A and B are shown apart, each in its own frame.
Chain A
Amino acid sequence: MSKAKSAGPLTPAVFHILLALYRRERHGYDIMLQVKEDSRGQVKMGPGTLYGSLDRMIGAGLVVESNKQDPRRIYYKLTALGQAALRAESERLSSVAAMARRHLGAT
């Protein structure tokens, strides 16, 4: 957990991929659709960007490949570190949003 926290703020792309993979393994296209749905169409991730991000997330130990039987449909899933990073980032965003609400409410 401390390692996940020390990773600092995540980029929106990484955060949305982690969110899409929470509790369910998915292949690339499924991740893209889920990200689009979660962000209400605000984050549209293309295939080139998606696989680049997944590579870096695998390197950082946040995600692993879970099923490689079909090379066209490789499934990805979260690691324990990925889940911890997602929780840490969600908490950070919540506290930032709460602080912003307090400031906006005070004015």
Chain B
Amino acid sequence: MPQQRQCGRSRSLAIYGLLLELYPRTYLRRHREELLQNFQDLERDSPSTAALWCFILKDMAVSLRSEFIRTFWGQTMVVFMILSLLLGIAHRHPGKPEPYIWSCFFGYALGWFAGWFGRDWRMSSSSRFPNFVRSFRGQATMLLCVITIVLTTSALFPDLQERLVLASCYGAALAWFSGWWKNYRRMRL
């Protein structure tokens, strides 16, 4: 009987090892060994295999979502789900709003990418980038460059003018909001 239980335990551990592959790579690199050891401890102290798996699956449902949402691909998926929803709504109600929804689509994607890379850049910029880029003059220069690019593109492609300006406005607003929200979340843990 103890041998049978030991065999059952090994199977549970093997299954858990496979399920761990669902977690993001960076998380697993840091914690795989600890998670497996932790599972063995839980298994040892658990009253039954069913209770153990009930606890583990509930934990995985919560933590997988939480960890996946923090990855680049998790964020991308959320953004594109929102945008697909917007476009779906626009298609169900055809008419005037569609161009604006497309502008929103481009703007949202632009703002989100800006927010994501801006955050990464800020967190790693102190040693890699010169101080000028972080200064007011550096930031103002970059802003002027972006405005120049938008205006030049608008002049070259007049049909896209309205969409470009709208996308830029949405992009700027969303980049700012995204940065603010990230800071807020970091403070809240």
* A interface residue numbers (CB < 8 A to B): 6-8, 10-11, 14, 27-29, 32, 44-53, 55-57, 59-60, 71-74
Contact = CB atoms under 8 A, between A and B. Distances in A.
Contacts of A56: 189
Contacts of A72: 33-34, 36-37
Contacts of A74: 34
Nearest to A31: B38
A26 B30 CA distance: 17
Interface residues of B, number: 27
B66 interface: yes
Consensus secondary structure, chain A interface? helix
Contact of B59 (A8, A10, A49): A49
Contacts of A55: 27, 30
Contacts of A50: 38
Contacts of B35: 47-48, 51
Interface in B58-100: 58-60, 62-64, 66-67
B176 interface: no
B56 interface: yes
B60 A73 contact: no
Contacts of B34: 27-28, 47, 51, 71-74
A27 B33 CA distance: 12
B41 interface: yes
Contact of A47 (B30, B59, B67, B189): B59
B66 A49 contact: yes
A6 B63 contact: no
A67 B186 CA distance: 26
B36 to A, nearest CB: 7
Given A28-B38, A49-B59, A52-B27, A8 B67 contact: no
Contacts of A53: 189
A85 to B, nearest CB: 10
Chain A to chain B: the 5 pairs with minimum beta-carbon distance, closest first: A46-B59, A48-B63, A72-B37, A47-B38, A71-B33
Nearest to A51: B31
A105 to B, nearest CB: 32
A69 B59 CA distance: 27
B59 A60 contact: no
A52 B35 CA distance: 11
Nearest to A62: B189
A100 to B, nearest CB: 22
